[in-house]
Amino acid sequence: MTTNMTENNRWYRVPFVWLLVGLPLLAVVGSFVSLALAIRSDDGLVEDDYYRRGKEINRTLARDHAAATHGLQGRIDLDDAHHELLIRLSSNNTTTLPDNLQIKFLHATRAGFDKTLILPRHADGAYRAPLPPFEPGHWNLQLAAQDWRLTGSLHVPGDHHLDLRPTSP
């Protein structure tokens, strides 16, 4: 009679034992899955060299101040029909506009989506380039020359025009 009782009470036949073993095992497996996801995905939110970027702030502020001193303003038109990016600049004094401009499209949360374009100046005074494809979301724009820059913000899809002004001090 005792042999029958021990066969029925083997540990792997008791549901409570599986509950005690299964929950910690599930937690261990879940932690390894989380670790694998953390290693494989780059969220792009943390800057690797934050100290160097912090030192660049003063230089950037001087470029914003120079744009304000020159009275620079710009308008960006995103023409989806012609796949063209058009930029027109104006100033309130005799500032000579450069032959080429650099525009940076900086995604608000994913640095891997960032784009940089060099736009040549055309005979009509406007700067044109082919319109790159954009991921949906919030984009920060920086239009820059050698000594000044203009900034703005754009939402894709939706915004087709953007007015750029120097950042106020």
How large is the average pLDDT for residues 87-106? 76
Residue 5 has pLDDT above 60, yes or no: no
Residue 27 has pLDDT above 90, yes or no: yes
* HSE toward the beta carbon, residue 145, CA cutoff 13 A: 19
Report the pLDDT value the prediction gives residue 30, as an integer from 0 to 100.
96
How large is the average pLDDT for residues 143-157? 77
Residues 6+ apart with CB under 8 A from 140: 105, 106, 107, 108, 151, 152, 153, 154
Report the pLDDT value the prediction gives residue 1, as an integer from 0 to 100.
44
The pair of three-digit structure tokens given for residue 117, joined into one six-digit string = 């374009």
Residue 96 has pLDDT above 50, yes or no: yes
Q: Which fold has domain 50-164?
A: Immunoglobulin-like (2.60.40)
The pair of three-digit structure tokens given for residue 54, joined into one six-digit string = 């912090």
Q: Where are the domains of the chain?
A: 2-40, 50-164
Mean pLDDT over all residues of the chain?
76
Encode pLDDT of 43-61 as tens digits.
666 666 666 766 665 566 7
